Structure 1
Amino acid sequence: MTERGHAAVRRDSDNLEIGASAVRWTGNALEIEIEERDKRLGVPWQRRVCGKVRVIPEALNPTAFALDPAGRHRWHCLAPRARVEVQMDQPCLRWSGAGYLDSNFGSEALEDGFRVWHWSRAHTRRGSAVCYEGIRRDGAAFASTLRFGADGTPEQEELPLVAPLPNTVWQMERKTRADHGHAGVIKTWEDGPFYARSRLHSRLFGEEVVAVQESLDLDRLISPVVQFMLPYRMPRIA
C-alpha cells in the first residue's frame, strides 16, 4: 500500500482510482482492482501485487450513525453481510467466504475526535451483530450494539458485558462485548503499534459466534515515534 498525491486520484459516484488500483461499484458488487508494487523501504526489489476482490452484499443498510454529539464523525455499515471473492494473480491466491463492508467518514481527522476505539462484528444465524465503543478526544466514553436482520435493518440492542482480551505483542489493549463477559482470541491477524485486528470466539445473544475484532489507539498513531515509522511501512509518493 502506497500513499499518493491528489493528482493520482480520480473519482465519481461509482468509481475511485488511486494510481493503478481502483474500486468500482457495479450495481450489485464492489470490485477492487489491485495493481501495486511492494515498495517498502530497505527492500531492494519491488514485488508486484495484483488481482481482484469482489464484495457482494447479501444485505444493504441505508442508515449511517453519528459517533459524536456534533456529528463530525459518522459510521455506515453498508453491508452487514456479504460474500467476498478474492482472485490474486501475484501472489497466486484464490479465496471466498463471508464478509462485511462499512465506512467511516467525517469533517475532521479521526485523531482529533477520538483517543481509542474497539469494534467487533459477528455473523449470526439470522443476520449479524456489531459492537462499537471507544473514548472520544474530550474523554467521554461511547458504546453501542446493533443487530442487523437478514434484510440489513438495524436495531439497537442492550450492551452485552465487556469481555477483556489479552494485549497484543505491541501491548495494544483489546476488548469486545459478549454474553457473560467471556471471549477468546483465535488468531491475531494484524499486530501493530497502534492497530490490532483479530479473530475471536464468543457468545452473543445466546448464540456461539466467530467474530472479527479491531482495536485502534489514536494517541499512539500521532506519537512522533509512530509517525517516524509509518513511511517504512507505507511509502509516500508525491
Structure 2
Amino acid sequence: MSDDGQRAVSVIGFIGSVFSPWYAWSGRSDPANHCCMNVATYGPGGRFAMTDRGRTALRRAPARLTIGPSSFDWTGSELVIDIDEVSSLPLVSRMRGRITLTPSAITGVELPLTRDGAHVWRPLAPISRISVALEAPGWQFDGHGYLDSNFGTRPLEQDFSYWTWGRYPTRAGAACFYDAARRDGSRLDAAVVFDEAGRARMTDAPPRTPLRRTLWALRRETRADPGTTPRQVKPMLDAPFYSRSVVETQVEGERLRGVHEALDLDRYANPLLKPMLAFRVPRRSRWRF
C-alpha cells in the first residue's frame, strides 16, 4: 500500500490456481498445468489480471519463479517482481512494470491451518517496504508491504467453510489475525505479532467483531477491542465469495489500519459460480519462451 493510502497492489503466484474454475473443472490433479500470476491494482485506474496458464508457462529455480511473461526473483535481500500481464474484463489492457519488496527480516514461522497439516501458512516477511514502478500514470510509489506463502494438499472448500485474515502495521511491527471455521466443527484462532527483526509471538486477540457486509452481502469480521467498531476505509476486491479491503480497527488501544480479507467457501463451492469466474479468469494453455 502507498504511504499516502491512496493506491495498493496485490501480486500472487499460484501453482495450482486455487480460485481458477479451470483448475476445479480439471479435477485438480495437475497443479503445474494451472499456474497463474494474479496482479491487482487498487486506486485510480485500478485493474485485475488472473490468467490460468498451462505447464509450458511454468519455470522454477531456487531463487526464481517464472509464470509466462511474469516472474519473481529473490536477490538475497529483495524480491523483484516483473509483471507483463493483460487485465481482464471490463478494462482489458497491458499491465507492465516492476515491484520491488524489501523485507525488514525473514521469519521462520509456519502455522498449520488444519490439525493434520494439510494447509500451512508461512508469513515470510510481515514487515516490508515496497517500491512500485508500473507503466501507467500515477502508478509509481513507495509504501509498506507484506510477503507470505500458503501451501495445501486439498481444496480449501473441503476443509474450511469460512475464514478471515488481517495484517495490520503497528508501532512495534505488525499484527496478523487468522480465523477460520473448519469443516470438522473446530476453529482456528491465531493472533501473531511480529517485530522488525522478524521475531514472532503468539498473543491473545480481542474479540471477533463484525464489519459491515460487502456489496455482495458477504459476512465479515475482524479483531477489535471491546466497545469499538472496525470499519472499511478503502474497498479493494469485492466478489460473491471473497472480499479484500483496507480496514481500520483498534487493538490494545492502538488504532490500526491494514489489509483485511474474508472468504466464504460455502459460496465458492457452489458450481454455479465457476462459469461466472471464467469471465474474469481466462485460460491460456500454451506458452512458448
Q: Does 1:123 align with 2:169?
A: yes
- How far apart are the structure 1 equivalents of 2:117 and 2:92? 42
TM-score normalised by structure 2 residue count: 0.78
* Pairwise CA distance, 1:186: 1.0
* Pairwise CA distance, 1:173: 0.7
Describe the shift of the 1:142–1:46 C-alpha distance in structure 2 as closer, same or farther (beyond 3 A): closer
- How far apart are the structure 1 equivalents of 2:84 and 2:64? 16
Output the amino acid matched with 1:120: G
Q: Match of 2:142, SS?
A: strand
- Equivalent runs, 1:65-76 vs 2, <5 Å: 65-76=111-122
* Pairwise CA distance, 1:152: 1.1
* Pairwise CA distance, 1:159: 2.1
Answer whether contact 1:178 1:202 (CA < 8 A) is retained: yes
In structure 2, the gaps of 5 or more residues are 1-49
Output the amino acid matched with 2:196: A
* Pairwise CA distance, 1:39: 5.0
Describe the shift of the 1:53–1:15 C-alpha distance in structure 2 as closer, same or farther (beyond 3 A): same
Residue in 2 aligned with 1:204?
Answer: 251
* Pairwise CA distance, 1:88: 0.5
* Pairwise CA distance, 1:211: 2.0
- How far apart are the structure 2 equivalents of 1:198 and 1:51? 23
Q: Does 1:80 align with 2:126?
A: yes
- How far apart are the structure 2 equivalents of 1:157 and 1:126? 14
Describe the shift of the 1:222–1:91 C-alpha distance in structure 2 as closer, same or farther (beyond 3 A): farther
Q: Does 1:163 align with 2:209?
A: yes
Residue in 1 aligned with 2:235?
Answer: 188
Q: 1:151 aligns with which of 197, 205, 211?
A: 197
- How far apart are the structure 1 equivalents of 2:238 and 2:186? 26
- How far apart are the structure 2 equivalents of 1:165 and 1:79? 27
Deviation per residue, 1:44-83 (Å, 9 max, x gap): x952211111111012211211111101110010011000
Moved more, 6-15 or 30-39: 30-39
Residue in 2 aligned with 1:142?
Answer: 188
Q: Does 1:2 align with 2:51?
A: yes
Q: Does 1:176 align with 2:222?
A: yes
**Where is the strand percentage greater, Structure 1 or Structure 2?**
1
- How far apart are the structure 1 equivalents of 2:136 and 2:116? 44
Residue in 2 aligned with 1:61?
Answer: 107
Residue in 2 aligned with 1:28?
Answer: 77
In structure 1, the gaps of 5 or more residues are none
Answer whether contact 1:120 1:211 (CA < 8 A) is retained: yes
Q: Match of 2:116, SS?
A: coil
Q: Match of 1:116, SS?
A: strand
- How far apart are the structure 2 equivalents of 1:63 and 1:19? 30
Output the amino acid matched with 2:190: S
Q: Match of 1:167, SS?
A: coil
Answer whether contact 1:49 1:91 (CA < 8 A) is retained: no
- How far apart are the structure 2 equivalents of 1:24 and 1:94? 20
Q: 4+ residue runs of structure 1 moved beyond 3 angstroms?
A: none
Number of aligned residue pairs: 235
RMSD between aligned residues = 1.6
- How far apart are the structure 2 equivalents of 1:183 and 1:46? 34
- How far apart are the structure 1 equivalents of 2:84 and 2:137? 12
- How far apart are the structure 1 equivalents of 2:87 and 2:137? 12
- How far apart are the structure 2 equivalents of 1:36 and 1:170? 27
